[in-house]
Chains A and B, each alone.
Chain A
Amino acid sequence: DVKVTQSSRYLVKRTGEKVFLECVQDMDHENMFWYRQDPGLGLRLIYFSYDVKMKEKGDIPEGYSVSREKKERFSLILESASTNQTSMYLCATWGNSYEQYFGPGTRLTVT
């Protein structure tokens, strides 16, 4: 079974803090993704990566950056957290089949 883990299930940060969300997968998948989920808006793609050190902007990259130094690890960085970044953050991978496999999510609250 594919396992995707995220560093924290719940996180509370203050406005202006730098926030790191980490995602690790154990299936040697090339492609990794970061989404955020908000009520009524579904899952929106922030960034994705199809190889180590490669990254592509998704639909809502503003205020975020990413890092992929190793194949199994994909980090999402909020350079200066703001209250409108309070959300559920979901990491996913995509391997040889066409399904995406999701981690358990991180509920981030920015106060």
Chain B
Amino acid sequence: DQQVKQNSPSLSVQEGRISILNCDYTNSMFDYFLWYKKYPAEGPTFLISISSIKDKNEDGRFTVFLNKSAKHLSLHIVPSQPGDSAVYFCAASDVTSGTYKYIFGTGTRLKVLA
């Protein structure tokens, strides 16, 4: 049972435009969400997080939106740059319960075209 889903395995976007990556989850107990970027042959690097008490968090070109009622979060990258080409993973956890575990989605490969 996939509790965190990224239904788009890949996405292509022109340089300078907006990239929108989506993530859905099924467990209503999840209260903290992360986005990671991963280049080939490297470990994932943390991008941005959001707590369930918020619906938006921004960090430079990256914004994460959380819609708790729809159990949906999205990562917006504006403007997209060729260096953003990577695989993006969303992850969710029930941190309040102290489980110390994240459930990761399957990833979306973003390609930014110059």
A-to-B contact residues, CB < 8 Å: 4, 9, 31, 35, 37, 40-45, 48, 50, 58, 90, 92, 94, 98-105, 107
Residues of chain B within 8 A (CB-CB) of A94 are: 100
In the bound complex, do residue B101 and residue A90 qualify as a contact, i.e. CB atoms below 8 Å apart? no
- A104-B42 contact given A43-B89, A98-B34, CB 8 Å threshold: yes
Q: Which of B9, B41, B45 contacts A102 (CB 8 A)?
A: B45
Q: How many A-B residue pairs have CB under 8 A?
A: 53
Q: Which residue of A lies closest to B36 (CB)?
A: A102
B-to-A contact residues, CB < 8 Å: 6, 9, 32, 34, 36, 38, 41-46, 49, 89, 91, 93, 95, 100-102, 104-107
Q: Which residue of A lies closest to B44 (CB)?
A: A102
A interface majority secondary structure: strand
Q: Which residue of A lies closest to B34 (CB)?
A: A99
Q: Which of B32, B43, B102 contacts A105 (CB 8 A)?
A: B43
In the bound complex, do residue A43 and residue B46 qualify as a contact, i.e. CB atoms below 8 Å apart? no
- A102-B43 contact given A48-B100, A58-B101, CB 8 Å threshold: yes
- Given A37-B38, A98-B49, A105-B41, 5 other A-B contacts at CB below 8 A? A44-B104, A48-B100, A90-B43, A100-B91, A102-B43
In the bound complex, do residue B107 and residue A42 qualify as a contact, i.e. CB atoms below 8 Å apart? yes
In the bound complex, do residue A45 and residue B101 qualify as a contact, i.e. CB atoms below 8 Å apart? yes
5 tightest A-B CB contacts, nearest first: A102-B43, A42-B106, A43-B104, A42-B104, A99-B46
